[in-house]
Structure 1
């Protein structure tokens, strides 16, 4: 049960076990204590290690939790430490981070009578700098660390209150020894993005900006301000999201350009929220006005790397995952503005239909500025490479992405372009999004279905709504409502939040209209269409629900309030004729199909979400192409 003599002192004064890669000390665990109670993989364990003469406090990296929970790592156990870091906290205290270890045996009692290394007179104070290392920074096991040049340490103006990387005891060690890369072009040493960890607070990364967002504003209980973000990629092939707040926005926004290479230092690490982060790094970086960013000569050693997945394979993959996709953009829908249910803010989206040589196509949604400019950016059937597009089961299979390269200069793109030119454009693709679609705009011609598909494909019985488009004729509109003057409801007159002229307002005994949503009472209301009808094609007939925007399209822009005024003036014929003119008209109709439960009864409800007039010339061309004429 021999312990490595002098192991703790060597760790404490370590110039890096890089001097001797075979240094794998055997030490004893004197104490083991959980310092967080998250109940699982996020637990943190404090450890005290001893060589029989000295002891030093430290932490177990989270990847060792499974060994702690199984009892393999326990008090008085003797372990071989295969990989570790030594970190100096802002207080000057040194801790050892155990990244990998293996149990030798457990004698069940303490060996020797060790004393605290920080109080032992022969090794100096706890604030002594490790020789040859960077003060305050985690040291790698192999290769000396040269100064990363971050004079500012942590500090940042992140209004969300995320934790910085100083100290880092509350975060995972991730098993990285934070290696250093030296480039041929400079004597400066850089930390690869893949080597960033919460136990190192001095680093410099050299990376290319692959994506830059617009400036946005935020407001919460801690204040308000502006922010923007960039995605940077380095030569290790890993990218990371970087966010700039407040003063850093003014300082850096106009200086940073997509496609240019910079060095970055003085940022704070935090664990990434992978629900919204599509980068490979499991961290995010926050920069403030004290951070240092310097433009570098553009370098060919930083190239975007992809791990492409064929579209046909998406049907076998789990939703919420991320994939790299290379495809031809064969259809671009009109951009649409929607209101986020979570934030209440308007967002621009655009749906692309993309296809590759696997015999399948899929719908991919882009957002923000990319969506607003989609008609121009994706014109003329370009080849596009999307980095880490998110898989969704919204209407079959669909994708959502932001970071893309149009007509990338990579061999795979040349091969796909040749395939498309040879015969790919004439290939009838299987659509993975045929049962889906967004709530705006009709699906492309090749993705349309028939009215009978609603029953034949059992649409509406899934957890989420199903969507489909078909060409059909309006055969009947139910314009009369019992006890009411027309096919509408009275909505709140408040056009602002939270009602926006949508929530029902009830007429009171004094003739005013009261809204339970905003608790306001107004003299007036806004009437909004709501009624049902039937649509039919040559395969079947179906009942559908019609709402205000769709009814106004159907009635050529006539509003419910206008028809109400006609009835109030005694002109009922105008009301009847408006519905009569809409009957027997033909449209491209997009519907949402969803099962609803009313009391003890369950039924499938089909609602019209958009009506598109038929372009008969384009329709004829599509039919001829489908027939191969």
Structure 2
């Protein structure tokens, strides 16, 4: 098959001209070792007449290299790119930053170099037209002047809407730059320091080719916080560019911005259709199951279950955190639990049957169960206007709502395989195997008929990663036999025992701290307070959960191959719409009667 390259396009681009959507061939690529956080690659590209060895692939396109779509001899169309001049002592070098491409043909399909391209040797970059570094401006962006934020400094020489550069090309080596970015997330103001006398807030910014975090401290926090709004677009310049701290910043960027005294921000007044939006790289939930922990994930799904707002006390600082959970499902017939924290848990509206899109969630694993946790930089959208969302809605409304699903957040390895099918206690009994190294996971619709109120609260080791029960050694100190240390303090934890029932029988269960708090609707500290100060209120707490119906996710295992222990992994209030759909499906299957 013949492939036609955009002959001579590199010469036009390197001379500062405009060439829309050039078709080029990849003749080689090299990993840049100086970028250790997010890998970057330099490509050698050819238009059939000339080749150029300094084309940088934006990090959001790395997956095309990893998957093999982009390889030696691949023919691609460059949809978006930026030219940047790098200055050094000897001469200036112009590089091309590739922001978006379409693969026309994979390298193995082409199998050879096309044409006989020669190395492009032009005039030095410093002699090139003063348009570089530049990205071709849309008509709207050249016709309006940026509007400075009220109460902030504004230097028109610092911001020129015609000479913005993409976020992907920002480096600490650039002295003069301007980006045009949409604010996709804005955190609440937080404090720091022993006296909480410092304050800051964080933003997440994006354009068509990348994303970056920005932080404003103290005076800059006061100056900019009330002026910047989510989903608006701004020209931003004169920030400090520093290496991103990947312990806290999981965005796909090596760098982050810090606002300074001379930072300039002006609102963009262009037509909304020309402004950058969030770019997603969605994974199906079934594919997430194969990813390693700590991966950063974009996912879209229908909210099947949404929990109420809960409070958790941090073990290290004693601060109270707000938390919510939701279960997302998609066309891969899979489900996953997503945890929201702090401001997201309080203010992001979660309702069942809503389509939720997440960008930049952290994949975590515990006891073989995988779930997603929202970070400070995670972007959430409800019912986004995206093709993926429309396809998902069609699937869910036409059978997906009642489909059997594999829930990757409820464990694996058991005979139930983590499936969302509901079984009875009698069916669970027939599935059990007396194997000490194998756990059985299953879902069950049951009623709590009895809870033990004795010895529910215990004093546990104060260390963050240790929950061992402490022994009072009668000298004002408590001994942790696991850590081998004595402590003057402790933390309260819960261990709730009880019995659940369904139409086929009864069974004893155990719920550990987090699940017990969810069932009782109180934190361990609150339960301890009632125990010590309000016996009547303490007893009423257990009476109120008896004879309530929950959808339990349970884990069976045998202690020393003799004693069965059933642990509650989660307990969700019954979703009656889901339950009715399952009952109707069962009636159809058993009776062959359409209901």
* Structure 1 length-normalised TM: 0.55
Aligned-partner Cα distance in 2 for 1:268–1:555: 46
For 2:135, which of 174, 181, 186 is the aligned residue?
181
Alignment of 1:110-125 (within 5 A): none
- CA displacement at 1:211 relative to structure 2: 1.1
1:215 maps to 2:189: yes
Alignment of 1:90-169 (within 5 A): none
Aligned counterpart, 2:583: 624
Aligned counterpart, 1:333: 307
Aligned counterpart, 1:26: none
For 1:382, which of 325, 335, 354 is the aligned residue?
354
- CA displacement at 1:333 relative to structure 2: 1.3
Task: Classify 1:412/1:583 alpha carbon distance in 2 versus 1 (closer, same or farther; 3 Å).
Answer: closer
* Alignment coverage as a number of residue pairs: 443
- CA displacement at 1:336 relative to structure 2: 1.6
Aligned-partner Cα distance in 2 for 1:627–1:311: 26
1:428 maps to 2:399: no
- CA displacement at 1:297 relative to structure 2: 0.8
**Unaligned runs of at least 5 residues, structure 2:** 1-12, 18-32, 38-55, 57-83, 96-123, 143-159, 413-417, 480-484, 588-594
Aligned partners of 2:402 and 2:582 also within 8 Å: no
1:366 maps to 2:367: no
Task: Classify 1:555/1:563 alpha carbon distance in 2 versus 1 (closer, same or farther; 3 Å).
Answer: farther
Match of 2:343, SS state, is: helix
Aligned counterpart, 2:76: none
Q: What CA deviation, in whole Å up to 9, does each residue of 1:385-439 have, x standing for no partner? A: 2223333334533223431222222233223223333333232322222328xxx
Aligned partners of 1:337 and 1:348 also within 8 Å: yes
Q: What CA deviation, in whole Å up to 9, does each residue of 1:145-200 have, x standing for no partner? A: 66xxxxxxxxxxxxxxxxxxxxxxxxxxxxxxx94324232364112111112221
Aligned-partner Cα distance in 2 for 1:358–1:238: 28
Aligned-partner Cα distance in 1 for 2:193–2:558: 37
- CA displacement at 1:225 relative to structure 2: 0.8
Aligned counterpart, 1:231: 204
Aligned-partner Cα distance in 2 for 1:267–1:580: 56
Aligned partners of 1:321 and 1:391 also within 8 Å: yes
Aligned partners of 2:339 and 2:373 also within 8 Å: yes
**Unaligned runs of at least 5 residues, structure 1:** 1-16, 22-37, 43-60, 62-82, 88-93, 101-138, 147-177, 437-443, 480-485, 568-573
Aligned-residue RMSD, C-alpha: 5.6
Q: What CA deviation, in whole Å up to 9, does each residue of 1:451-497 have, x standing for no partner? A: 648984899969xx998764557799888xxxxxx7477759xxx99
Match of 1:284, SS state, is: strand
Q: Name whichever of 445-454 and 619-628 sits farther off.
A: 445-454
Aligned counterpart, 1:158: none
Aligned partners of 2:301 and 2:356 also within 8 Å: yes
Aligned-partner Cα distance in 2 for 1:404–1:20: 39
Q: Which has the larger radius of gyration?
A: 1
1:272 maps to 2:244: yes
Aligned-partner Cα distance in 1 for 2:92–2:559: 56
Alignment of 1:125-524 (within 5 A): 179-184=133-138, 185-186=141-142, 188=161, 189-219=163-193, 224-235=197-208, 237-298=209-270, 299-301=272-274, 302-341=276-315, 344-374=318-348, 377-379=349-351, 381-394=353-366, 395-401=368-374, 402-435=378-411, 446=420, 452=428, 456=432, 470-471=444-445, 487=455, 491=459, 504=470, 506=472, 508=474, 514-515=477-478
Aligned partners of 2:407 and 2:419 also within 8 Å: no
Aligned-partner Cα distance in 1 for 2:440–2:373: 18
Q: What CA deviation, in whole Å up to 9, does each residue of 1:351-405 have, x standing for no partner? A: 111122222222222222222134xx23362222222333333453322343122
Match of 2:369, SS state, is: coil
Task: Classify 1:290/1:429 alpha carbon distance in 2 versus 1 (closer, same or farther; 3 Å).
Answer: same
Aligned counterpart, 1:86: 87
Q: What CA deviation, in whole Å up to 9, does each residue of 1:260-295 have, x standing for no partner? A: 111111111122233433433221111123211111
Aligned partners of 1:308 and 1:325 also within 8 Å: yes
Match of 2:265, SS state, is: strand
Q: What CA deviation, in whole Å up to 9, does each residue of 1:527-548 have, x standing for no partner? A: 9876766667648855636669
Aligned-partner Cα distance in 2 for 1:19–1:555: 68
Aligned-partner Cα distance in 1 for 2:404–2:198: 50
Aligned counterpart, 2:510: 544
Q: What CA deviation, in whole Å up to 9, does each residue of 1:541-594 have, x standing for no partner? A: 556366699499779999778888999xxxxxx9xx999989996764867869
Aligned partners of 2:185 and 2:204 also within 8 Å: yes
Match of 2:340, SS state, is: strand
Q: Name whichever of 425-434 and 210-219 sits farther off.
A: 425-434
Aligned-partner Cα distance in 1 for 2:265–2:522: 56
Aligned partners of 2:450 and 2:500 also within 8 Å: yes
- CA displacement at 1:256 relative to structure 2: 0.4
Q: What CA deviation, in whole Å up to 9, does each residue of 1:93-147 have, x standing for no partner? A: x5889999xxxxxxxxxxxxxxxxxxxxxxxxxxxxxxxxxxxxxx97895566x
Q: What CA deviation, in whole Å up to 9, does each residue of 1:502-548 have, x standing for no partner? A: 9857373xxx8545799669xxx999876766667648855636669
Match of 2:203, SS state, is: strand
Aligned partners of 1:328 and 1:382 also within 8 Å: yes
- CA displacement at 1:207 relative to structure 2: 0.9
Task: Classify 1:85/1:435 alpha carbon distance in 2 versus 1 (closer, same or farther; 3 Å).
Answer: same
Aligned-partner Cα distance in 2 for 1:315–1:583: 34
Aligned partners of 2:478 and 2:486 also within 8 Å: yes
- CA displacement at 1:230 relative to structure 2: 0.9
